[in-house]
Amino acid sequence: MSVKRLFINATVVTMKDGAEVLRRGALGVEDDKITYVGEVPEPQVQEQFDEIIDCSGKVILPGLVNTHGHAAMTLLRGYADDLPLQTWLEEHMWPLEAKFTHVQVQAGTALAAVEMIRSGTTCFMDMYDHMDAVARVVEESGMRARLTRGVIGLCSEEMQNKKFEEAVRFATEWHGQADGRITTMLAPHAPYTCPPEYIKRFVEKAGELKLPLHTHMSETVKEVEQNVRDYGVRPVEHLRRLGFFDLPALVAHAVHVTEEEIDILAQHDVKVAHNPGSNLKLGSGIAPVTSMLRKGMRPGLATDGAASNNNLDLIEEIQLAALIHKGANLDPEAVPALTALKMGTSYGAECLFLDHEIGTLEAGKKADFITLDLTGAHMQPLHDVVSHIVYSASRGDVVDMYVNGQPLMVNRELLTLDEEKIRHEATRAFQALLQ
Ligand SMILES: CSC[C@H]1O[C@@H](n2cnc3c(O)ncnc32)[C@H](O)[C@@H]1O
Ligand SMILES: [Zn+2]
């Protein structure tokens, strides 16, 4: 039986055509879809709904979209800090990740889901191993996700084949599952961990399966130099030659890209997941986001894994995006508040090729939205709600979350996940790695 809910008396930020802020607005939902956005309807119209939810003192906005990460790495949070990417990966992350089984991935991803829901993320992109465990957490939590088995090709040909088959099997089996909340993609980890012919196989398979591609690209200076040494060209040209950009593609980082490379990315409509927190913490640099925006690109925001961030709070990334480019460019107009909020919502949806379903609040779209409390002292006076969300809000302000029309958190109470059990299991799963 269909359920109709009407959320009334809210400030509604639709993110459609700019911000479109409705004061004392309403949002109607039937099953998994938004059916109405506008003024609070007359009482006789309200009677047609099964449930009326008063949202006075709250803002409703589209759920936040995290466009790149490794959810299970919550288990490695704080395990190795203050290191550059290569040392951090090769000497600390990879040795421990080699011991991960589906137990660690399940426990770490569930912990990530709790953290993401509490901080307003309704949809996340995940690249990892043991992805069936990740997909099952997504199923259970009620979240939306774009999932991929990330593949590192620094191994024997036999192992490369095995990983490739597994990535394809996962992407095929899970695409469209969980009432369509799970979609998939294919992801060679990076040009420095996958030989060119191996990347080419992923490109061909993605074309065949009509799935998007994803990879880490141009995150550090060292990686770009290595690419030039090994292949004679920088990573953008390398991937372009492999046909990576002839298909829908999302690249994570793009920190060290030249103006000419940004032109190539823009021409091919390549999506970029901007990871300001992780790039700062690993000392990788600051991506030229202002130039990307000037050239018509619409980067999304991402946390990357919790071991390089060290949290999964997209509100923080929105704030960082709105701040660091002002400082880096000596320009207070760089990445204005509204742009930063779009990066965390509608642009993020585009990056995951889900903008036909999510990213804005419009009739016909999936009912993925959150509410934030506006009554805190730090949110007053309420001149400009977009400014407050970007520059003043924090994760503690997130009160409610709905995905596909289903409540995942109401009044800060999680409805789909057992937080205490998940925290306990995550600690146990990490300790098991040290034995
Ligand atoms: C093959 S699964 C994903 C793989 O990516 C690693 N990873 C985490 N953060 C980063 C990053 O910033 N750059 C490159 N690779 C990263 C993670 O540890 C997994 O091994
Ligand atoms: Zn990553």
ipTM here: 0.99
Determine how many CB atoms are found less than 10 A away from the CB of residue 300: 31
Quick check: bond before 276 cis, omega within 30? no
Ligand nearest to the CA of 303: 2
Q: pLDDT tens-digit profile of 50-62?
A: 999 999 999 999 9
Q: Which residues contact 319 (CB under 8 A, 6 or more apart)?
A: 340, 390, 391
Say how many Å lie between the CA of residue 216 and the centre of ligand 2.
6
Q: Looking at residue 242, what is its pLDDT?
A: 98
CA distance 22 to 54: 15
Determine the residue of 67, 77, 216 to mutate for testing ligand 1's pocket, defined as the one with the most ligand atoms within 8 A of the Cβ atom. Answer: 216
Q: Looking at residue 19, what is its pLDDT?
A: 76
Encoded tokens for 248: 């829908």
* Cα dist from 300 to 102, 124, 206, 224, 257, whole Å: 29, 11, 22, 22, 16
Report residues whose beta carbon is within 6 angstroms of any ligand 1 atom: 70, 85, 89, 93-94, 97, 127-129, 150, 152, 189-190, 216, 219, 278, 304-305, 308
CA-based nearest residue to 277, from 66, 430, 431: 66
433 has a pLDDT exceeding 90: yes
Ligand 2 ion: residues within 5 Å (CB): 304
Q: pLDDT tens-digit profile of 251-282?
A: 999 999 999 999 999 999 999 999 999 999 99
The residue whose CA is least distant from atom 3 of ligand 1 is 128
Say how many Å lie between the CA of residue 359 and the centre of ligand 1.
26
307 has a pLDDT exceeding 90: yes
Average pLDDT over residues 27-33: 98
Q: Looking at residue 1, what is its pLDDT?
A: 82
Average pLDDT over residues 321-331: 98
* CA-CA-CA-CA torsion sign (94, 96, 101, 104): negative
Determine the residue of 68, 77, 86, 93 to mutate for testing ligand 1's pocket, defined as the one with the most ligand atoms within 8 A of the Cβ atom. Answer: 93
Encoded tokens for 191: 């040009």
Q: pLDDT tens-digit profile of 90-105?
A: 999 999 999 999 999 9
Q: Indicate the annotated binding residues for Zn(2+).
A: 68, 70, 216, 304
Say how many Å lie between the CA of residue 181 and the centre of ligand 1.
24
Average pLDDT, whole number, for the chain?
A: 98
Encoded tokens for 110: 């569930």
Q: Looking at residue 435, what is its pLDDT?
A: 85
Average pLDDT over residues 375-382: 97
Atom of ligand 1 nearest to the CA of 253: 12
Helix, strand and coil percent figures for the chain, each rounded to 5: 45, 20, 35
| Domain limits, the chain | 4-63+357-414, 64-351
Determine the residue of 70, 151, 166, 215 to mutate for testing ligand 1's pocket, defined as the one with the most ligand atoms within 8 A of the Cβ atom. Answer: 70
Q: How confident is the model at residue 401 (pLDDT cuts 50, 70, 90)?
A: very high
Q: How confident is the model at residue 204 (pLDDT cuts 50, 70, 90)?
A: very high
CA distance 305 to 23: 36
CA distance 350 to 355: 5
* Domain 64-351, CATH among 3.20.20.140, 1.10.3720.10, 3.40.50.970, 3.40.50.1820: 3.20.20.140
CB burial of residue 220 (10 Å; 0-12, 13-18, 19+): buried
Average pLDDT over residues 314-328: 98
**H or E stretch at 337:** helix 337-344
210 has a pLDDT exceeding 80: yes
CA distance 70 to 65: 14
Q: pLDDT tens-digit profile of 332-355?
A: 999 999 999 999 999 999 999 999
Q: Which residues pair with 372 in a beta bridge?
A: 59, 398
CA-based nearest residue to 74, from 125, 116, 124, 117: 116
161 has a pLDDT exceeding 90: yes
Say how many Å lie between the CA of residue 327 and the centre of ligand 1.
28
Say how many Å lie between the CA of residue 305 and the centre of ligand 1.
8
Atom of ligand 1 nearest to the CA of 93: 18
Top CATH class of 4-63+357-414 equals: mainly beta
17 has a pLDDT exceeding 90: no
Is residue 300 a contact partner of residue 276, using CB atoms and an 8 Å limit?
Answer: no
Q: Which residues pair with 121 in a beta bridge?
A: 64
Percentage of the chain exceeding pLDDT 70 = 100
Determine how many CB atoms are found less than 10 A away from the CB of residue 430: 19
The residue whose CA is least distant from atom 18 of ligand 1 is 93
Ligand nearest to the CA of 83: 1
Determine the residue of 76, 189, 199 to mutate for testing ligand 1's pocket, defined as the one with the most ligand atoms within 8 A of the Cβ atom. Answer: 189
* First CA to last CA distance, the chain: 50
43 has a pLDDT exceeding 80: yes
Q: pLDDT tens-digit profile of 109-151?
A: 999 999 999 999 999 999 999 999 999 999 999 999 999 999 9
Say how many Å lie between the CA of residue 366 and the centre of ligand 2.
27
Say how many Å lie between the CA of residue 100 and the centre of ligand 2.
17
